[in-house]
């Protein structure tokens, strides 16, 4: 029972060390995908080794195989998630800008400006 507990503990520690997202830490608006993490999550190295021993996919194949399609789907899903995040952020900025009511404030300033000029001693 001792080896199983260590194994479970090792798995838990490895799980805690893994990054929780598929992006490299960055201050960029659209951070770059962490390719190594995506490849590990999708098991591409193992699948590639297994398929390589079976000579898959065929060298003369034109159509994409299932692994290539999975990769494309995953990258597209990440792209769509980033696009959704962008739209949410743009909505937030639009709401913030509209709540500032610049036009109303400018109108108040324009109305107050002539009265302010009259009060300035000459």
Q: Is the pTM of this model over 0.75?
A: no
**Residue 42 contacts by C-beta under 8 Å, 6 or more apart in sequence?**
70, 71, 74
**29, part of any domain:** yes
**110, part of any domain:** yes
Q: Domain containing 68: what range?
A: 21-119
Give CA–CA dist 18/41, Å, rounded: 10
3-state secondary structure of 33: strand
For 51-107, the pLDDT digits (tens) are 989 988 888 888 999 999 999 999 999 899 889 988 998 999 888 888 888 788 888
Q: Indicate the average pLDDT of the chain.
A: 80
Two tokens, residue 87: 């739209």
- Kindly list the distances between the CA atom of residue 1 and the CA atoms of 4, 7, 8, in Å, as whole numbers in the listed order: 5, 10, 11
**102, part of any domain:** yes
* Count of structural domains within the chain: 1
């Amino acid at each position: 029972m001792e080896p199983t507990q260590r194994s479970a503990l090792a798995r838990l520690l490895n799980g805690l060390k893994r990054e929780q997202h598929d992006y490299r830490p960055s201050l960029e608006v659209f951070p770059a995908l962490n390719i190594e993490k995506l490849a590990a999550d999708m098991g591409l190295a193992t699948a590639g080794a297994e398929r390589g021993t079976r000579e898959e996919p065929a060298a003369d194949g034109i159509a994409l195989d299932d692994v290539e399609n999975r990769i494309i789907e995953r990258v597209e899903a990440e792209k769509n998630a980033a696009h959704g995040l962008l739209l949410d952020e743009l909505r937030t900025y639009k709401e913030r800008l509209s709540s500032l009511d610049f036009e109303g404030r400018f109108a108040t300033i324009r109305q107050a400006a002539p009265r302010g000029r009259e009060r300035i001693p000459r």
